Structure 1
Amino acid sequence: MDKNRVKGAVKEASGSIKEVAGKLTGNDRLRAEGAAEKVEGKIQTKIGKVTDAVKNALR
């Protein structure tokens, strides 16, 4: 498993927590930061999946 997949999953989870905290407290900035971090995490996870697929294809 590529390290980007793990880091991406952690970023997604962290972003989700920030987003929910922002919604609960009414803090739009925190909610937006959480949403952005969640998207970053999804992208990083997909990069990790592609990397794994390329490595497996070259074996």
Structure 2
Amino acid sequence: MAENEKAKAKTEQAKGKVKESLGQAVGNERLTAEGKAEQTKGDARQAKEKTKDAFRH
């Protein structure tokens, strides 16, 4: 289960980076903001999983 959550975090971060880059390339501020938000969500999910891993060991 934890590996699944880690994969979701990486996917969210990657999708967010693509959206942000695309938004900047075409000058779409909304798309850029969505990308940043997705990256932040992925970062938070990853931090949560790292914290859980730290307490398991």
Give the Cα–Cα distance (whole angstroms) in 1 for the partners of residues 8 and 52 of structure 2: 14
Deviates more, 1:5-14 or 1:37-46: 5-14
**1:48 pairs with 2:49:** yes
Distance in 2 between the 1:24 and 1:43 partners?
26
Q: Which runs of 4+ in 1 moved over 4 A?
A: none
1:5 Cα deviation after fit: 2.0
Larger Rg: 1
Instruction: Report the TM-score, using the length of structure 2 for normalisation.
Output: 0.87
Cα RMSD between the aligned structures? 1.4
1:28 corresponding residue in structure 2: 29
Partner of 1:16: 17
User: Any gaps of 5 or more consecutive residues in structure 2?
Assistant: none
